[in-house]
Amino acid sequence: MKVYKYRSIEENCFKRDFKTLAGNTFYSPNYTTLNDPFDIYFNEQITPLIKILRAIFPDNSISNFENELKKTLDFKERVGIYCLSKDFLNEQLWAYYASSYFGYCIEYDLNKLTDKSQNSDFEYQLEIHYQDDIPTIGIDDIKNTDSFIKKIYAIKKSTWEHEDEIRLIFNNDGLKKFHSSAITGIYFGFKTEQIIKESFYDLFKNNDVKFYEVFPSNFRLESKLIYETKRSLKYKINKFNFEFLREPRENRWEQIFEVYYKGNSNDLNEIKEFVQAFKEMYCFKKSTLYIFNNKEVVSLLDIYPMNEDQHIEYNKSTIQIVYEL
pLDDT of residue 68: 66
pLDDT of residue 260: 98
Report the C-alpha gap between 295 and 262 in whole angstroms: 10
Q: Is the pLDDT of residue 226 over 90?
A: yes
- Model confidence at 238, pLDDT cuts 50, 70, 90, reads very high
Q: What is the CB-side half-sphere exposure of residue 34 using CA atoms within 13 A?
A: 23
Count of other CB atoms within 10 angstroms of residue 148: 17
Among residues 325, 22, 12, 28, the alpha carbon closest in space to that of 183 is found at: 22
> Is the sign of the CA dihedral 24, 29, 35, 40 positive or negative?
positive
CB 27 within 8 A of CB 176: yes
The least confident of 29-43, 162-176, 235-249 is 29-43
pLDDT of residue 220: 97
Report the C-alpha gap between 117 and 281 in whole angstroms: 18
pLDDT of residue 58: 63
pLDDT of residue 204: 98
Report the C-alpha gap between 216 and 140 in whole angstroms: 48
pLDDT of residue 63: 64
Q: What is the mean pLDDT of the chain?
A: 93
Q: Which is more confident, 45 or 83?
A: 83
For the entire predicted model, the pTM comes to 0.90
pLDDT of residue 75: 80
Among residues 104, 145, 134, 148, the alpha carbon closest in space to that of 14 is found at: 104
Residue pLDDT, tens place only, 115-131 = 999 999 999 999 999 99
CB 281 within 8 A of CB 289: no
Cross-sheet strand order for the sheet of 220-229: 122-127, 165-170, 80-85, 2-7, 104-109, 183-189, 209-217, 220-229
Residue pLDDT, tens place only, 16-66 = 999 999 999 999 999 999 999 999 999 988 777 666 666 665 666 666 667
66-76 mean pLDDT:
74
Report the C-alpha gap between 253 and 286 in whole angstroms: 7
Residue 17: in which H helix or E strand, if any?
helix 11-22
pLDDT of residue 192: 98
pLDDT of residue 142: 75
Residue pLDDT, tens place only, 295-318 = 999 999 999 999 999 999 999 999
pLDDT of residue 16: 95
C-alpha torsion angle, residues 62, 63, 64, 65 (rounded to 10)? 50
195-213 mean pLDDT:
98
Residue 74 exposed, middle or buried by CB count within 10 Å (0-12, 13-18, 19+): exposed
Report the C-alpha gap between 9 and 24 in whole angstroms: 19
pLDDT of residue 57: 59
User: 3-class DSSP state for residue 285?
Assistant: coil
Q: Is the pLDDT of residue 199 over 80?
A: yes
pLDDT of residue 71: 73
Name residue 140's amino acid: D
Distances 32 to 26, 125, 128, 129 between C-alpha atoms, Å: 17, 19, 18, 20
Residue 280: in which H helix or E strand, if any?
helix 268-282
